[in-house]
Amino acid sequence: MGTGQHILTSKTPTAVFLVVTVDDGGEQAARDALEGLAGIVTTVSSRVPDATLCAVVAIGSDAWDRLFSGPRPAELHPFVELTGEVHTAPATPGDLLLHIKSDRADLAYEVGRLWTTQLGDAVTTVDETHGFRYFDMRDLIGFVDGTENPNGPDAVSAITVDPDQDPDFAGGSYVAVQRYVTEFSEWNALPTSDQEDAIGRSKLENVEMDDDTKPSNAHTALTNLPDVDGKPQDIVRDNMPYGDIAGDGVKGTYFIAYSKTPAITEEMLRHMFLGDPPGNHDRLLDFTTAVTGTQFFAPTAEFLADLPPAPETEPAEQPTTVGPSDGSLGIGSLR
């Protein structure tokens, strides 16, 4: 099994999320940037060796076959758009995802700057979000985020494709991202008790409600997915708040979920947007809107260090020349 990228880290004070599409003809530049990312991180890290700095790169479904020949991750497919009775989870473009995590904003910025400089005009940036840790790992709505994340070996198991599942891509992870824009005037107008009902946990103490008192449309009720044996099906969320400060500037949550299969995240999103039962959608969505949605696969470090060959390009079809019917060369009479 290959060694996964540095996905499981403590929550850093800052993160950058970059989603780009690869323009026609930019495939080789994209391949070079995938191979060169580790060197960029090493170079920037050397400036402040004691600071945490890592970067995870992932590839979208549409880009995979443009960049690599050979097999592809078994469950890699485009983000599935969900249209519920009230809320929609849109699918938006994205060929490459770069998730940079650091103790220092300048280091994260420098990795992103050097990487996008290397890509140059081979790509188009479709989303750039700078996240930050907010107090004791709370979202801007005031609740602790990531409480349900597994820890230790359980976290490794939750995000890692195993050899029995997909031997060609064992050690990798599937990644789903969504950027949410929150309407804080409406959210802040709610009494704390109503906010707690929407989340399913107490706001100050971060204690989850018991099943008898938790509303069926609470966020934690709809995102808890036990398997057939009653055990939780886990993902690892590495969400970050982001946003402008003044006035009505855009602000909210950047949702990013790592998992060993996209099926778990997709089922959670179906419960949230379509409802469980249908129509019983996530109450939190009444105050926050998903504006992006893209799915990727984060391969192992070994894969990135030694990429499979690029797809063979088809030779241009040559026009068929048809000579004159009399069998001559069509250059006229030699008399």
Give per-10-residue mean pLDDT for the chain (335 aa).
86 97 98 98 95 96 98 98 98 98 97 98 98 96 93 95 96 98 97 98 96 96 83 91 92 98 97 97 98 98 97 64 45 39
HSE-CB at 1 with a 13 A cutoff on CA atoms is: 16
The pLDDT assigned to 318 comes to 55
Which burial class, exposed, middle or buried, applies to 168 when counting CB atoms under 10 A from its CB (0-12, 13-18, 19+)?
middle
Paired strand residues for 202? none
Note the Cα 19 to chain centre separation in Å. 8
pTM for the full predicted model: 0.91
Phi, psi angles (nearest 5°) of residue 255? -90, 125
Q: Which of 127, 145, 166, 197 is catalytic?
A: 145
CA distance 199 to 194: 9
CA distance 265 to 173: 12
The pLDDT assigned to 247 comes to 80
CB 1 within 8 A of CB 162: yes
The pLDDT assigned to 335 comes to 34
194 classed as catalytic:
no
The pLDDT assigned to 30 comes to 98
The pLDDT assigned to 180 comes to 98
